[in-house]
Amino acid sequence: MSPTTPELDLFRTDLRARSAYAEGAGIFRILPGAVAVPASVEEVRRVVDWARREGRPLVPRGAGSSIAGGAVGSGIVVDLRERMPRTLEVDPGNSSAITSANVTHGELNERAAQHGLRLPPDPSSGAWATLGGMVSCNAAGARSVKYGSVRGWVEGLELVTADGETGWLWRGGRRGDGLQALERLAVGAAPAIRSAAELVRRRFPAVRKNASGYALDHWLGSGDDLDLLVGAEGTLALVTTVAWRLDPVPPARASMLVALGKLESLEEAVRALTALDPSAVELLDRTFLDLITLAATSVDLPEVPPGCQAILLVEFEGENGAQVRGRTGDAVRALGSLALDVVTALTPADERRLWTLRHAASPILASLPPDRRSMQVIEDGCVPLAALGEYVRSIREAASRESLTVVIFGHAGDGNVHVNVLPDLGRPDWAERVGRLYESVQASALDLGGTLSGEHGDGRLRSGWLVRQYGAEIVDLFRQVKTAFDPHGILNPGVKLDDGAPPLSRLKVGRDAAPIPDDIAQALGQIERSGGYALSRLEIADRHQDSATP
Ligand SMILES: Cc1cc2nc3c(=O)[nH]c(=O)nc-3n(C[C@H](O)[C@H](O)[C@H](O)COP(=O)(O)OP(=O)(O)OC[C@H]3O[C@@H](n4cnc5c(N)ncnc54)[C@H](O)[C@@H]3O)c2cc1C
């Protein structure tokens, strides 16, 4: 980086700052070339102008909790959370909100709740995930089975484009302030995508959620350019402000735990439950239950009957208690003999106890010994509901072939399954085994008509698979979209579109992990173990300055 650039005041190039931003959630540790921490839209524009002039890649970043590696990279990390101004305005009359990208989902919902409103998609990372990061990953959560992913709730986006222009994009065909990027899209990629509409229809998977590739299918359906930005993982523009549609918080809720004795019953049970319009149908596989049993946790967990192969946690929301109680009764009848056992929770206290089971995994995974680091390599496949049982079975079988422990859970109602792999890092061949598991399970998801990512995005982990998922012609359309928005390739290269880097390289574990100061490695490990993504990375960098490595 040239020391004469007038933008130097915006960058940190010292090893401690670079190290503090070298990791996010997920498997990677990649030291960035520098860190930029802008404090205004104007400063974001200066950083972008500098990057374009110097031909340097930028890695936009919110809380750094995305799992596929979109928020880490060897370019200049642009922290859009730390110092940017904060806006959080709820308009109860219009059930809408305007927030800066650095506000968290939790903060928005806390404010919206004062007016009986909420943003319904509910990632379990909502306490720290920034709304800019959620838009950029098309985040979702347990309630997405009823309310969809974030995409459906975004009304407008304020962007800084790769040309250094700022402007708004809105739903409903309103064009975005004459931005050059949109002009290029309109004359280049847009006609090509329209004439490939039939191919898009055939090649995009028939799944309930998809965060892989650019959403050409949604763009064709809505005609709204912002549909390409939702889920773009910082590769098309930087998001600075978001306009949201909100929804009333339903007055009543009830939950139930359904224990299944056979994995074969999963599809039918999920089908029976989704027909009743639930607000959540979450899967805890046998592998997940085994982990909890082993951990002998002191938490007061609901009892799981012996022989249980999988649990479904189900929630119904409605207008009043009678309605949601009725729904749980309907569910019990619809499940019939598919369920080994059913426990209903009709009071908030009972509900909390049931859902404790879902939340118990994170602290247990966090407390594993250092040679059992939990790795997320096949963690977000989403398949048609009819293939869910088959997909879970294929993960279990592939893991057993490689003698790897896996923990499987996720959003059954959407066919979206998360997997944590717990390799024994003491074994010399752990990396090969994990690599084979990755290949095998990704292939299963595609063979079953699924997508590799339901809600976390492609990042650096899955970008190399887009050709296999969509075919070369669709990926060529993705490249045309990318070129329209980012002709100089400065926005998050290697994320979404492959840059040839092996997906399971540059790991935070193992012998080849990039060296960073010990105290920072420990602090980042602690963030991962405790879900401490809200912590300022600059604060970590600036701790113990006296002993800082130059
Ligand atoms: C324990 C745990 C649980 C999780 N649970 C869920 C879940 O239930 N559902 C779910 O969907 N996800 C979940 N996630 C993943 C993650 O929290 C989400 O992807 C979240 O949306 C990321 O937000 P972030 O602010 O951390 O973004 P980051 O990780 O910082 O960034 C995510 C991506 O967006 C880009 N980006 C960030 N901000 C901007 C911006 N302002 N403009 C342009 N690009 C930007 C980055 O370049 C990157 O590609 C979980 C993660 C963890 C660790």
Q: Which atom of ligand 1 is nearest to the CA of 240?
A: 41
Cα–ligand 1 centroid distance for 413 (angstroms): 21
DSSP lists the bridge partners of residue 341 as: 259
Question: Would you state the pLDDT for residue 178?
Answer: 87
88-124 confidence digits (pLDDT tens) = 999 999 999 999 999 999 999 999 999 999 999 999 9
Question: Would you state the pLDDT for residue 361?
Answer: 73
pLDDT in tens, the chain (550 residues): 554 455 667 899 999 999 999 999 999 999 999 999 999 999 999 999 999 999 999 999 999 999 999 999 999 999 999 999 999 999 999 999 999 999 999 999 999 999 999 999 999 999 999 999 999 999 999 999 999 999 999 999 999 999 999 999 999 966 667 899 999 999 999 999 999 999 999 999 999 999 999 999 999 999 999 999 999 999 999 999 999 999 999 999 999 999 999 989 999 999 999 999 999 999 999 988 888 776 656 667 778 888 999 999 999 999 999 999 999 999 999 999 999 999 999 999 999 999 988 887 777 776 777 777 889 999 999 999 999 999 999 999 999 999 999 999 999 999 999 999 999 998 999 999 999 999 999 999 999 999 999 999 999 999 999 999 999 999 999 999 999 999 999 999 999 999 999 999 999 998 899 999 999 999 999 999 888 999 999 999 998 655 444 3
Q: Which atom of ligand 1 is nearest to the CA of 456?
A: 19
Token readout for 301 is 């967990």
Cα–ligand 1 centroid distance for 518 (angstroms): 26
Among 48, 100, 131, 137, name the best residue to mutate to test ligand 1's pocket (greatest count of ligand atoms within 8 A of Cβ). Answer: 137
Residue whose C-alpha is closest to residue 25's, from 472, 527, 381 = 527
Task: Tell me if 134 CB under 6 Å of ligand 1.
Answer: yes
Q: How many Cβ atoms from other residues are within 10 Å of residue 480's Cβ? A: 18
Cα–ligand 1 centroid distance for 492 (angstroms): 14
Question: Would you state the pLDDT for residue 7?
Answer: 63
- Residue 550, C-beta contacts closer than 8 angstroms, at least 6 positions apart: 14, 15
Cα–ligand 1 centroid distance for 64 (angstroms): 6
In angstroms, the CA 311 to CA 304 distance is 8
Cα–ligand 1 centroid distance for 99 (angstroms): 16
Question: Would you state the pLDDT for residue 548?
Answer: 47
Task: Tell me if 461 CB under 6 Å of ligand 1.
Answer: no
Task: Tell me if 281 CB under 6 Å of ligand 1.
Answer: no
Cα–ligand 1 centroid distance for 459 (angstroms): 10
Answer yes or no: are the C-beta atoms of 412 and 270 closer than 8 Å: yes
Q: Which atom of ligand 1 is nearest to the CA of 237?
A: 43
Task: Tell me if 71 CB under 6 Å of ligand 1.
Answer: yes
Cα–ligand 1 centroid distance for 134 (angstroms): 5
In angstroms, the CA 139 to CA 128 distance is 13
Q: Which atom of ligand 1 is nearest to the CA of 495?
A: 49
Residue whose C-alpha is closest to residue 13's, from 26, 29, 2 = 2
Task: Tell me if 381 CB under 6 Å of ligand 1.
Answer: no
Cα–ligand 1 centroid distance for 523 (angstroms): 19
Task: Tell me if 278 CB under 6 Å of ligand 1.
Answer: no
DSSP H/E element including 157: strand 154-161
Question: Would you state the pLDDT for residue 161?
Answer: 98
Among 40, 45, 59, 61, name the best residue to mutate to test ligand 1's pocket (greatest count of ligand atoms within 8 A of Cβ). Answer: 61
Cα–ligand 1 centroid distance for 129 (angstroms): 6
Task: Tell me if 30 CB under 6 Å of ligand 1.
Answer: no
From the number of C-beta atoms within 10 Å of its C-beta (0-12, 13-18, 19+), residue 249 rates as middle
Task: Tell me if 133 CB under 6 Å of ligand 1.
Answer: yes
Q: Which atom of ligand 1 is nearest to the CA of 130?
A: 25
Cα–ligand 1 centroid distance for 94 (angstroms): 27
Task: Tell me if 80 CB under 6 Å of ligand 1.
Answer: yes
Contacts 24+ apart (CB under 8 A), 524-533: 524/20, 524/22, 524/23, 528/23, 528/25, 528/366, 529/366, 529/367, 530/366, 531/125, 531/127, 531/128, 531/362, 531/366, 532/128, 533/25, 533/63, 533/64, 533/65, 533/125, 533/128, 533/129
Task: Tell me if 62 CB under 6 Å of ligand 1.
Answer: yes
Task: Tell me if 530 CB under 6 Å of ligand 1.
Answer: no
Q: Which atom of ligand 1 is nearest to the CA of 362?
A: 1
Closest Cα to atom 9 of ligand 1:
123
Answer yes or no: are the C-beta atoms of 150 and 243 closer than 8 Å: no
